[in-house]
Amino acid sequence: MKSVPLYLASIVAAGAPAFAQNYTWTNHPSELPYYGQSPPVYPSPQTNGTSSSRWAAAYAKAREILAQLELEEKVNITGGYTGACVGNTGAVPRLGIEPLCFADAPDGIRGSDFVSAFPSQSHLAATWDKDLFLAYGKAIGREYYDKGINVALGPVAGPLGRIAKGGRNWEGLSSDPYLAGWGMYQVTTGMQSSGVIATAKHFLFNEQELRRRPNQTYDPIGEAISANVDDRTAHELYAFPFYDALKAGAACVMCSYQRANNSYACQNSKLLNGILKTEMHFEGFVVSDWEGQHTGIASANAGLDVVMPLGSTYWGANLTQAVNNSSVAVDRLDDMVTRTLAAYYYLEQEDYPDVGVFSDTEEHPIVNVQRDHKKIIREIGAAGHVLVKNVNNTLPLKAPQFVAIYGYDADIKAEPWENVARYGGGYEVNHLWNTFNGTLIVGGGSGGNIPPYVISPFKAIQDQVIEDGGIVRWNFWSEQPHVSATAQVCLVFINAYASESFDRPSLVDEFSDNLVKNVAKNCSNTVVVIHSAGVRLVDPWIDHENVTAVIFAGTPGQESGHSLVDVLYGATSPSGKLHYTVARQESDYGNLLDHTISDEWFPQSDFDEGLYIDYRAFDAKLNVTPRFEFGFGLSYTTFSYANLHIEDLSSADNTSVSAFPDASIPLVQGGHPQLWDTLYNVTAVISNNGTTGASGAEVAQLYLGIPNAPLRQLRGFDKVGPLAPGESATAVFELRRRDLSIWNVVEQQWELQKGSYKLWVGASSRDLRLEGEIVVS
Ligand code: NOJ
């Protein structure tokens, strides 16, 4: 093993946040020579499908076509045109090459009818269920395929969720890169198994909406924000889940809007040529975010392959000229085209269905792609509900005869039919938007979907009450509703909206908090249900003695009410866990609450906290306890943890293992193949030891104390069950080389750490039940 590099020395930078004083900063951004400037990485790597026989076959076909293309025809494939879809590449009719159709969104097709509205990916992450991640990808992918859409613009691991108020956090999976990574892997696998090209987005560091783009009317004029991120953090946090998407075969990656270390992400050679195309050995193509291209030659040479929505602004005829005068090498153009065609052949899209994307406003044929997806939507919806308070087994409800329902989020507000799309769509800059628009099923912006219908909580609960022979009373709009003394349970529905293009103004709102308090004042059994696109604080009322149960219901999609009733009435025990930290007050998030505000022409956002976001930051701030920690969630039963077993697979003779992957082995898509080797196998036995008689599934979580890294990091999870009372199951965690490594900025490689790794298995990031150790020699 090499000697300990300099960057691992204990550095407590002057001016570092107070909580860092006890902590060893490694590779603090200010230590880096290129902090604030992105290092050049040229030329752009050309690939040839060496990752697998499937990629090789796709490249062979792509090359065959390439050889027949004229210069203008090649250029035509690299740029977008107006067409049926939100993005369309140019065609080459003479060779039967049709335009590729690109469409949003990560949680259901936007811009078309007869499609399903799935839960958001953040809701999916709250299930912590790898099987459901896969099923979600398959079902969504199938709808894209049936609509003839070649390229689906998801899944999302950027934003990761650095700041609590980030407007698009709900589009992505989790602020933990390992959980997000599994989501990326499974959703990509599922989508592409259905035939559509998956797009891992947004690469990289698009962590705030404010000034994400230059010269937007709603932002101060000037260039976009520069996310300044050190190399280690870039790898261990933000790029981490993209490795998983690529490992799963993602054939498209979207570069992001903002600048990264002062260079626009879609012309950033370090990100595209360096991290993505060299280190991760990406074989597919990079598409720009819409209007995210700001130069012609620079973006081409930095590794951009396809520009959307219009090719003609900087490329088109300009690219032809640039190739003719050698500003852009013809090899680079050939590489763009080969990568794009290879992705098409990788997914075997030669016999693809016709594009069936139609706007609601014109008469058109019906292309109904919903199938029976409502079932999986309902299941994922229920599995992503997180129960955080349940006094004396208030829930599940036992067929109460008088159910009172309160709050603007309980039902659909009657609207003209064409506005149904607004349940998810819309870019309204108003976090109370949904206060006036009914129940929240998903956030807004390009990540919003178009529901075929919405099962509101009110509808589903009323149906249940009818079955139980009881009565319902409701008041949706008052902040101080009448509460009947006879009501056996008062269900209060509130929400927190978020959308692309603006960050959230707050994590609470007074109207909703007053509503909860007003109901709780008069109802001794008040159950609060929160639909929220991101963190929602609960401290204004969580300790109120009449608030007997609280559910974070996320953004569950079209079957919202059914999913909720399945949980409320106990058809399924809640099994979701928080995929972010819920603090007691906004200020507890410190610098990670808000976007960076700057009226500079070249605004800067320094990611000074390095690896310390979300629970990593809370764990380091010894004096700030979260209200509900990352990984927390209750069930209708309880679980015991026992028999921690660690098996060392790291070397045949159990003596030593090399610090770095073997340099003689070529890289494949997803990085060095040895990064994915399982070095340790960990198991624990989880038992339903509850006394309520309820069955339930449990998400067992493994946290690792990697030397020279944050205190604890998630490096395994396994959802076991549902387990009947008294029943046990074994949770299995495979620790791969990457999961045990840190990014060595000197060697520019993932490096195993020598010494002792502490290991915990538990029910959350703070409810650690079993403890062990791994020693790497
Ligand atoms: C901009 C968004 O950032 C991106 O996620 C989306 O796919 C495109 N618009 C296309 O709608």
How far, in Å, are 19, 426, 689, 733, 736 from residue 128 at the CA level?
30, 29, 21, 14, 19
Residue 492: which pLDDT band, with cuts at 50, 70 and 90? very high
Higher pLDDT, 689 or 29: 689
Q: What's the mean pLDDT in 74-82?
A: 95
What are 209's two structure tokens? 């909406």
- DSSP 3-state helix, strand, coil percentages of the chain (rounded to 5)? 30, 20, 50
Q: What's the mean pLDDT in 376-397?
A: 98
pLDDT at 357: 83
Interatomic CA distance for residues 273 and 276, integer angstroms: 6
pLDDT at 655: 61
Q: What's the mean pLDDT in 352-368?
A: 85
Higher pLDDT, 438 or 170: 170
Q: What's the mean pLDDT in 635-662?
A: 89
Residue 484 has pLDDT above 80, yes or no: yes
In terms of Cβ atoms closer than 10 Å to its own Cβ (0-12, 13-18, 19+), residue 538 is: buried
How far, in Å, are 45, 79, 176, 252 from residue 282 at the CA level?
9, 20, 23, 9
Q: Give how far the C-alpha of residue 318 lies from the chain's centroid of Cα atoms, to the nearest Å.
A: 36
Q: Ligand 1, closest atom to CA 256?
A: 3
Q: How far is the CA of 290 from the centre of ligand 1 (A)?
A: 6
What are 155's two structure tokens? 């899944």
Residue 14 has pLDDT above 90, yes or no: no
Instruction: For the chain, give the mean pLDDT.
Output: 91
Give, as one character, the DSSP assignment of residue 178: H
Could you tell me if 547 and 540 are in contact, meaning their C-beta atoms sit under 8 angstroms apart? no
Q: Which residue, by CA, sits nearest to atom 6 of ligand 1? A: 446
Higher pLDDT, 423 or 370: 370
Q: What's the mean pLDDT in 187-199?
A: 98
Residue 72 has pLDDT above 50, yes or no: yes
By residue count, the chain amounts to 777
Q: How far is the CA of 289 from the centre of ligand 1 (A)?
A: 6
Mutating to test ligand 1, I would choose from 107, 212, 254 the residue with most ligand atoms within 8 A of its C-beta, which is 254
Name every residue whose Cβ is closer than 8 Å to that of residue 435 and which is 6 or more positions away in sequence: 408, 495, 509, 511, 512
Residue 654: which pLDDT band, with cuts at 50, 70 and 90? low
pLDDT at 360: 63
Residue 145 has pLDDT above 90, yes or no: yes
What is the pTM assigned to this prediction? 0.94
Domains of the chain: 110-145+163-192+380-634 (3.40.50.1700), 637-776 (2.60.40.10)
Residue 17: which pLDDT band, with cuts at 50, 70 and 90? very low
pLDDT at 216: 86
Residue 726 has pLDDT above 70, yes or no: yes
Give, as one character, the DSSP assignment of residue 585: S
pLDDT at 684: 98
Q: Which residue, by CA, sits nearest to atom 9 of ligand 1? A: 290
Q: Ligand 1, closest atom to CA 87?
A: 10
Tens of pLDDT, residues 390-443 = 999 999 999 999 999 999 899 987 554 444 444 444 444 444 445 456 889 998
Return the minimum-mean-pLDDT range out of 89-93, 251-255, 400-404, 583-587.
89-93
pLDDT at 651: 74
Q: How far is the CA of 472 from the centre of ligand 1 (A)?
A: 42
Give the ranges where 453-584 is alpha helix by DSSP (H): 457-468, 510-522, 560-568
Q: What's the mean pLDDT in 558-572?
A: 98
Nearest to 200, CA basis, from 262, 274, 268, 137: 137
Residue 361: which pLDDT band, with cuts at 50, 70 and 90? low
State whether residue 344 is helix, strand or coil: helix
Q: Ligand 1, closest atom to CA 206?
A: 3
Q: Which residue, by CA, sits nearest to atom 1 of ligand 1? A: 290
Interatomic CA distance for residues 630 and 579, integer angstroms: 6
Interatomic CA distance for residues 489 and 419, integer angstroms: 33
Interatomic CA distance for residues 380 and 137, integer angstroms: 12
State whether residue 360 is helix, strand or coil: coil
pLDDT at 219: 83
Q: Ligand 1, closest atom to CA 199?
A: 7
Residue 133: which pLDDT band, with cuts at 50, 70 and 90? very high
Q: Quick count: other Cβ atoms within 10 Å of Cβ 666? A: 10
pLDDT at 415: 56
Give, as one character, the DSSP assignment of residue 85: S
Placement of tokens 């997803």 in the chain: 670
Mutating to test ligand 1, I would choose from 101, 289, 357 the residue with most ligand atoms within 8 A of its C-beta, which is 289
Q: Which residues line ligand 1 (CB under 6 A)?
A: 86, 104, 153, 201, 289-290, 446
Q: What percent of the chain has pLDDT over 70?
A: 91
Return the amino acid letter for 651.
S
pLDDT at 8: 26
Q: What's the mean pLDDT in 322-329?
A: 98
Interatomic CA distance for residues 698 and 682, integer angstroms: 17
Q: How far is the CA of 105 from the centre of ligand 1 (A)?
A: 8
Three-state SS for 297-324 is HHHHHHCCCEECCCCCCCCCHHHHHHHH
How far, in Å, are 33, 268, 278, 280, 759 from residue 38 at the CA level?
10, 7, 16, 18, 36
Residue 301 has pLDDT above 70, yes or no: yes
Return the amino acid letter for 677.
D
Tens of pLDDT, residues 744-759 = 999 999 999 999 999 9
Report the interhelical angle of 330-346 vs 317-324 (nearest 10°): 130
Residue 20 has pLDDT above 90, yes or no: no
Q: What's the mean pLDDT in 174-189?
A: 98
Residue 6 has pLDDT above 70, yes or no: no
Residue 34: which pLDDT band, with cuts at 50, 70 and 90? very low
DSSP string for 106-127: TTS-SS-SS---PPPHHHHHTT
Report the interhelical angle of 560-568 vs 457-468 (nearest 10°): 50
Q: What's the mean pLDDT in 697-713?
A: 98
pLDDT at 438: 83
Could you tell me if 671 and 634 are in contact, meaning their C-beta atoms sit under 8 angstroms apart? no
Q: Which residues pair with 717 in a beta bridge?
A: 701
Q: Annotated active-site positions, please?
A: 289
Q: Give how far the C-alpha of residue 767 lies from the chain's centroid of Cα atoms, to the nearest Å.
A: 24
pLDDT at 445: 87
Q: What's the mean pLDDT in 499-519?
A: 93
